[in-house]
Structure 1
């Protein structure tokens, strides 16, 4: 897949769009507004994170709409406001571009449909639409219900290695950002604040973040089918797939 992104600017209204014109012909501001989809009865579900993620069924496509929200203490003050440093340096455009790059490398990540930022002076707000990963559940949900096989843990390791082989750093590699579909294939999601990086020194911290996440969920959930030996299986898969 080549670089198929199209950029359109509606400067008068302060909107900037980037989109795959094979999936959406003409993006508009309303399509990034949950109320627009609610009025058409096209919302099929939602998920709570830092903000709310909306699931939409539209023209035989299943979309995931995410509004960019800040986390932590800054988020309590600025919530969804970001300093404008240029369109291509905005969080939605950067994530769209990164997903496009990983798609071109054959990684199992969400297909980017469209992103937009709405700029007012030095501040912007933004949104991203991706294709939903069909018949999938996040790793947290799966492990609350059943253990993964050794082969499945190897596949988790393979997915992490494939990401690192593309020199992509994941800012928040945790159990909720790993998806498993009905064919037991592994997908990685939520690439906000992620980026391409040089070298290898940062890769271990990505893996450590996931291990901390597993320990945390094990302590928090009365039933969570994970043990240390499963991490060893995951790392076996990672080492077998990582580029030398």
Structure 2
């Protein structure tokens, strides 16, 4: 997919996937713009609010404004240290998504990214295509137990990501999606990157396991047990 870089003034840059936009009007990164168009069809809560959009062309997009988490997020909120355009969070994420798409991974498609720099600080936004008919794995297993084949597919999806040396900074049960066709998707590649060696892959998997255990403790009904994890790992090991 052809990605182009556009400059809109001092410190203001965008990346645009020209399959979806020939160029970018920076209003597309404004929540107020989409609300005025009555195009906001939902919100997803996280560190901030992510907007689910329906465009005039009947496309489903997701608009995310980058925000900090933890204690530092209470102070800096959405400000990040600028260390070069190629190292900004949205440019890194969009380029990584494009690379994974080329390698056949089930990940979101990037539409556009925006960086607004002021001195050594920048703020940023990202638009991706919403995965159709998909829900978080976390939501699904609150409602039903999954067949063994699905757990195998979850393991295979993670292995496929690891095989192309992609480290996922926050691999957890809420960043894995299942669609109506039974396909597994991995989302939220903020602060993710390709890494060398392999030691970090075990850490990735341990983080995912802890997220299952944490959610099972705090959720009244949760269809996840040790044998489900074992099946996931069979899928992972056999790729």
Same fold (TM over 0.5): yes
Match of 1:216 in 2: 214
Q: CA deviation at 1:60?
A: 2.0
Residue 36 of structure 1 corresponds to 33
Q: Distance between the aligned counterparts of 2:189 and 2:165, measured in 1?
A: 13
Once the two structures are superposed, the pairs formed by residues 122-161 of structure 1 within 5 Å of their partners are 122-161=120-159
Shift in Å, 1:115:
0.3
1: distance between equivalents of 2:213 and 2:19?
A: 42
Runs of 4+ in 1 over 4 A off after TM superposition: none
SS at match of 1:25: coil
Gaps of 5+ in 1: none
Distance (whole Å) between structure 2 residues aligned to residue 47 and residue 22 of structure 1? 26
1:14-163 pair list within 5 angstroms: 14-58=11-55, 59-163=57-161
User: Could you give the per-residue CA deviations for residues 190-219 of structure 1, whole angstroms, max 9, x where no partner exists?
Assistant: 000001000111000000000000000000
Paired residue secondary structure (1:202): helix
Q: For residues 50 and 164 of structure 2, what CA distance do their matches in structure 1 show?
A: 27
How far 1:122 sits from its partner (Å)?
Answer: 1.0
In 2: Cα distance, 1:38 partner to 1:10 partner: 23
TM-score, normalized by length of structure 2?
0.98
| Distance in 2 separating the partners of 1:201 and 1:96 | 25
Q: CA deviation at 1:29?
A: 1.9
Using the alignment, how far apart are the partners of 1:34 and 1:44 within structure 2? 12
Superposition RMSD in Å: 0.8
CA contact (8 A) 1:153 1:233 kept: yes
Instruction: State the partner residue of 1:203.
Output: 201
In terms of mean alpha carbon deviation, does 198-207 or 26-35 score higher? 26-35
For residues 211 and 155 of structure 1, what CA distance do their matches in structure 2 show?
A: 16
Distance in 2, matches of 1:168 and 1:114, equals 21
List alignment gaps of at least 5 residues for structure 2.
Answer: none
Q: Does 1:192 align with 2:190?
A: yes
Q: Which moved more, 1:168-177 or 1:20-29?
A: 20-29
Match of 2:230 among 212, 229, 232: 232
